[in-house]
Amino acid sequence: MMEVGWSELGRYFGGAFALYLVLEGMLPFVNPAAAQRLMAKLASTEPAHLRWGGFISMVAGLGLLWMARNG
């Protein structure tokens, strides 16, 4: 198994967070009206549906991360 030090782990998390911010900012930058409609729709969504959507997103992200790291 690969040994990863704390500084390298911090770099990975920092890079991942930076990529998240870039991807998250694309929709409001390209189409602000669509971003406003999306946020209004999310605000009226049931909390249970949001929770399931978040769970599915986390599982998909972990799966993609695992595939990217393990080829």
pLDDT of 50 reads 96
Token pair for 18? 């930076």
Residue with tokens 């669509």: 34
Q: For the whole model, what pTM was predicted?
A: 0.66
Radius of gyration of the chain (CA): 16
pLDDT of 13 reads 87
pLDDT of 5 reads 84
DSSP label at residue 45: S
CA distance 46 to 53: 11
Instruction: Tell me: pLDDT of 4 over 80.
Output: no
Residue with tokens 């911090």: 10
Token pair for 31? 């189409």
Residue type, 40: A
Instruction: Tell me: pLDDT of 1 over 70.
Output: no
Supply the mean pLDDT for the chain. Answer: 91
